[in-house]
Amino acid sequence: MGYPVSYHCPHCETVVELERDGYLADKAVTPFPFEGWAYVEPDGDVESADGVVFTCGDEAVTREAGAGCGERFYLSFVKFADGEELDPRRPSEYVELAEGRGPDAPDSPDGPRGPSNSRGGFY
């Protein structure tokens, strides 16, 4: 049995409504998708997805006719991997910086060194 659940568009605060099962746990409503989450449209198989992508103003989900900004936004459910809740803010890959192992300043550009007169400038 589904229940109507309301969400606010993060762009314009328009209220949208989604009928879904109560056991699904919401993680966040954001203007951008989380990396690694699989989203479906509101009329898709919400229970098997990681979240729902809304289009603000879509008549099928917007409470007030004619309301909405037309922007997309994302409802993300809590997601688990190996028994632990995934944190969407954690980067999926790590970058090693070359601190202390590179040049102290960038190389100078190739090309002419500038005007030859001692006044400097262009004239």
- Residue 120 confidence class, pLDDT cut points 50, 70, 90: low
- Go through the chain and tell me how many residues it has: 123
- pLDDT tens column, 38-86: 999 999 998 889 999 999 999 888 888 888 999 999 999 998 888 888 8
3-state secondary structure of 46: helix
Picking from 80, 90, 3, the residue whose alpha carbon sits closest to that of residue 46 is 3
- pLDDT-based confidence at residue 3 (cuts at 50, 70, 90): confident
